[in-house]
Structures are given as structure tokens and as C-alpha cells.
């Protein structure tokens, strides 16, 4: 249980999840600091920013000495899947090691929470790992996060630690979707492959941060050495995408046979070999047609479901995009 004596240090809270987490912590009246190499995305969160890089051990140690956090939430990471070189994800591997090693120095840290990813495990035959440390990583990004988890599990930290795996997070302050998926939907360019349901686990960001807060306030036996998938209940991806389309354009998304997507993905792969970006390629195509769901029901049973209305959550997100978020994106600045 978080008390008035607790102080929370969040790494990487200038990003998507962190911005929403700070909004929640403000409502809760928590004391916290955002340790990040980049300034806050949301202007009025600048006051919480402490400039620092997790790759800089001395700067990290200085921040711990200054704030003496009782709770550490480690969000800082490279989270895209664009590279197939592990060294490009050094902030995930060495950066996490630096944070863990700093935590181990201080008895005042009582709970550390580490962001991982659903991508540490993806298997068509056995959808869920039999144990928390079962791994079938998807993408090099997933490999880097697997390495993080293994280091955390073997670290010997004296404080309680929790690993949380976000599932396909979306919502206000997402800085990639407005320039990609949501823009394609707005232009009427997005079509959906076939009528077969594709089951995915999505995480509305405001639900996710409330789940994280619930974990922070849970009994010790639900915190220490535990791993949770954070997200909403699995659904057919078309439900989410169509809710977005109806809110953005007022129209339903059209469906076309998978064959056309497969052919387009092959063309996209070829163009990418020559350095030409194309919106569809094989990995993205597979992501569109393959089931990828997680046991988020366990997390929901323990910590809550919160808002499960996709229509309401989509409306809240698009209202943000047309309001406070519009100036971040050229395409959306002049759209109503």
C-alpha cells in the first residue's frame, strides 16, 4: 500500500505510458519524479522531469541519492520493432541492468516494477507459457526484453519486484498510431483481411495504468517475484479497428480477401530491400492475421477490468487527438 511517506522514481515517464501514469499519480496525490533523457511530452508535466539517462550510471546514482525512492517503476526503453540488431536495443539490456544494480545498493527501495512486453512469448502451438520464465521471444525487441527479465529474476534484489508485460497498448498520448494506423483509417485506406476473427489482447492505456496502480497497492504476496500481463480481455481485432473507423470517419471498415494482403506484403518486402518504405510488409501482415492474445484475465480478476467499453475508450482517444493532441501531428492539425 502506497503511503504519504513513499516517493516514486519513474524512468522513462516522458513517453506514452508514462504520460498517462503521471496523470493518474497526480489524481492520486502521489509524490514522484520522472527520470528521463527527454522532457515531458505533456507540457504541464515538465515540473516532474529530472533529466537523466539510464545509460549514465553516475547520473542514475545521483538521482537515487537525491530522491531516495521507496518505489521504482522502470519504463525507459526502446520499444519499436524496427531493428533486427540486438545492439540497437542496448538501452533495454544494459540500461535495465544499470537500474537493477542501482536498486540493489539501497535498502530504502521496497518495491521495483519493471516494464517488459507481451513479445517475450509468442507461440502458435502453446499460446501461453507454462511458467513465468518460459520464453519464445517475438522480434529482436522481444529478445531484448527476455534478457531483461532473466537479469531481473537472477539479480538477487532484496526488495519486492514485479514484472509487467503490456499488451498492444493504445490511447491518448500514443505518438505513433496517429501518424500511421489512425491516419490510414481517416483516409479510408485501411481495409481488413477476411471475415475470420483475429483474436488479440489490447490494453487501453488508462486501464493499464490503473492496473499498475492496483499492483502497487496490493498485498506483498501479489507483488513479490510476480509477472503480470497488463491489458483488457482478448477480442476480435476488427471490433477495435471498426470502433476507431466509426469514430474517425463515421463508416465501417471494409473487408477484402487475405490473398490481396499476402501479395501486397511480398511487394512491400521487395521495396524495403531497396530502402523504399511501404505500409504493408510480411511481419505487419502476419500481425494482422495471426491470433496473439495473453492471459490478461488473471490480471483483471486480481486487480480490475476498469473501462471495457471500446466505443467509450475510442471516443476519449479521438477526442484527445482532435483536441490537446492535434498540434503534435501535421495531418490532424486542421481536421475536425
C-alpha cell at 112: 521495483
Q: What is the pLDDT of residue 274?
A: 82
130 and 23 in a common domain? yes
Q: What is the pLDDT of residue 260?
A: 67
Is the Cα torsion angle 321, 327, 332, 333 positive or negative in sign?
positive
157's CB contacts (< 8 A; 6+ apart) are 100, 103, 104, 112
- Give 277's pLDDT tier (boundaries 50, 70, 90): confident
311 and 180 in a common domain? yes
The full 3-state SS of 218-264, as one line of letters, equals CCHHHCCCEEEEECCCCEEHHHHHHHHHHHHCCCCCCEECHHHHHHH
Range of the domain at 64: 8-166
Residue 103 CB-half CA count within 13 A: 30
110 and 22 in a common domain? yes
In a domain, 226, yes or no: no
In a domain, 216, yes or no: no
80 and 140 in a common domain? yes
186 and 78 in a common domain? no
150 pLDDT higher than 80: yes
156 and 174 in a common domain? no
315 and 262 in a common domain? yes
143 and 114 in a common domain? yes
- Distance CA(260)–CA(157), nearest Å, equals 51
Q: What is the pLDDT of residue 88?
A: 98
Q: Under a CB-based contact definition with an 8 Å cutoff, are residues 257 and 194 in contact? A: yes
101 and 162 in a common domain? yes
In a domain, 210, yes or no: no
124 pLDDT higher than 70: yes
Domain boundary among 166, 183, 216: 166
C-alpha cell at 271: 521495396
Q: Count Cβ atoms below 10 Å from residue 71 Cβ, excluding itself.
A: 21
Q: What is the pLDDT of residue 259?
A: 67
133 and 257 in a common domain? no
pLDDT, tens digit (0-9, with 9 covering 90-100), for 218-257: 999 999 999 999 999 999 999 999 999 999 999 999 998 7
pLDDT, tens digit (0-9, with 9 covering 90-100), for 32-82: 999 999 999 999 999 999 999 999 999 999 999 999 999 999 999 999 998
101 and 54 in a common domain? yes
Q: Cα separations (Å) of 226 from 110, 183, 317?
A: 15, 38, 31
In a domain, 298, yes or no: no
C-alpha cell at 232: 483488457
336 pLDDT higher than 80: no
Task: Supply the CATH number for residue 159's domain.
Answer: 3.40.50.720
62 and 44 in a common domain? yes
> In this prediction, what percent of the chain has a pLDDT beyond 90?
84
- Distance CA(271)–CA(264), nearest Å, equals 11
279 pLDDT higher than 80: no
- Distance CA(80)–CA(82), nearest Å, equals 6
In a domain, 215, yes or no: no
In the predicted model, what is the mean pLDDT of the chain?
A: 95
C-alpha cell at 183: 491516419
In a domain, 1, yes or no: no
Could you tell me which residue, 192 or 73, shows the higher pLDDT? Answer: 73
Q: Cα separations (Å) of 90 from 74, 98, 140?
A: 15, 11, 11
146's CB contacts (< 8 A; 6+ apart) are 120, 135, 137
Q: What is the pLDDT of residue 101?
A: 99
Residue given cell 510480411 in the structure block: 282
In a domain, 3, yes or no: no
Antiparallel, parallel or unpaired: β 160-166 and 49-51: unpaired
In a domain, 331, yes or no: no
- The count of structural domains within the chain is 2
Mean pLDDT score, 270-286: 76
Amino acid at each position: 500500500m502506497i503511503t504519504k511517506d513513499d516517493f516514486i522514481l519513474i524512468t522513462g515517464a516522458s513517453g506514452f505510458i508514462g504520460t498517462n501514469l503521471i496523470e493518474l499519480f497526480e489524481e492520486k496525490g502521489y509524490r514522484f519524479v520522472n527520470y528521463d533523457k527527454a522532457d515531458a511530452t505533456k507540457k504541464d508535466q515538465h515540473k516532474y522531469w529530472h533529466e537523466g539517462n539510464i545509460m549514465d550510471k553516475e547520473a542514475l546514482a545521483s538521482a537515487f541519492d537525491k530522491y531516495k525512492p521507496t518505489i521504482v517503476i522502470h519504463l525507459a526503453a526502446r520499444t519499436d520493432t524496427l531493428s533486427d540488431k540486438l545492439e540497437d536495443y542496448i538501452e533495454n539490456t544494459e540500461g535495465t541492468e544499470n537500474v537493477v544494480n542501482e536498486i540493489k545498493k539501497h535498502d530504502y527501495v521496497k518495491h521495483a516494477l519493471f516494464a517488459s512486453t507481451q513479445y517475450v512469448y509468442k507461440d502458435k502451438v502453446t499460446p501461453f507459457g507454462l511458467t513465468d520464465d518460459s520464453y519464445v521471444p517475438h522480434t529482436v525487441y522481444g529478445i531484448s526484453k527476455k534478457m531483461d527479465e532473466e537479469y531481473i529474476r537472477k539479480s538477487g534484489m532484496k526488495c519486492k519486484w514485479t514484472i509487467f508485460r503490456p499488451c498492444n497498448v493504445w490511447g491518448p498520448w500514443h505518438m505513433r498510431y496517429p501518424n500511421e494506423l489512425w491516419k490510414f483509417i481517416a483516409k479510408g485506406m485501411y481495409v481488413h483481411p477476411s471475415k475470420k476473427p483475429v483474436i488479440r489482447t489490447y490494453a487501453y492505456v488508462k486501464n493499464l495504468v490503473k492496473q499498475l496502480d492496483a499492483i502497487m497497492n496490493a498485498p506483498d504476496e501479489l507483488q513479490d517475484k510476480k509477472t503480470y500481463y497488463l491489458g483488457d480481455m482478448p477480442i476480435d481485432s476488427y471490433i477495435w479497428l471498426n470502433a476507431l473507423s466509426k469514430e474517425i470517419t463515421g463508416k465501417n471498415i471494409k473487408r477484402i480477401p487475405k490473398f490481396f494482403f499476402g501479395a501486397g506484403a511480398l511487394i512491400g518486402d521487395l521495396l524495403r530491400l531497396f530502402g523504399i518504405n511501404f505500409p504493408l510488409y510480411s511481419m505487419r501482415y502476419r500481425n494482422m492475421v495471426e491470433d496473439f492474445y495473453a492471459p490478461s484475465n488473471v490480471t483483471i480478476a486480481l486487480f480490475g477490468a476498469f473501462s471495457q467499453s471500446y466505443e467509450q475508450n475510442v471516443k476519449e482517444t479521438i477526442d484527445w487527438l482532435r483536441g490537446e493532441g492535434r498540434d503534435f501531428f501535421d495531418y490532424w492539425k486542421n481536421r475536425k
